[in-house]
Amino acid sequence: DQAAIFDRFYRVENRVHTLEGTGLGLSIVRNILDKHHAPVRLVSELGVGTTFWFDLNIYQEDLARKEVSDLKCNSNVGIDAVGLRSLE
C-alpha cells in the first residue's frame, strides 16, 4: 500500500477508516512538495497508524546576499537555515 498511497484517488480500505474521502489529499501534498524539491516521508505500523513528515528549505539566497552586502561591515553576523541573525 505504501507505494500507491500518494496516487490520485487511492484509498486504504480497512476497518479502521470510518471517514469517507476522495483519495486526493496525499497526492496533492506530494505534488506541492515535489515542486519545492522536498520529499515526503512516512512510517507506518499495522494496527497503530502512519506518520508523515517533510522538510522545506526556507533559505532565501537572493535575500540573504542583499542583507549580507548591507551588513558587510558587521563581523558578528551569521547565516543559517533560518536566515541572517546577529551573533552579538
Per residue in 20-75, pLDDT (tens digit) is 778 888 899 999 999 988 999 999 888 888 899 988 887 666 665 666 565 555 44
Q: Which residues of 20-53 are buried (b: 16+ CB within 10 A; e: fewer)?
A: eeeeeebbeebeebeeeeeebeeeeeeeeeeeee
Residues 76 and 47 in one domain: no
At 79, the pLDDT band (50, 70, 90 cuts) reads very low
Residues 50 and 67 in one domain: no
Based on the structure, what is the number of domains in the chain? 2
* Structural domain span for residue 39: 1-57
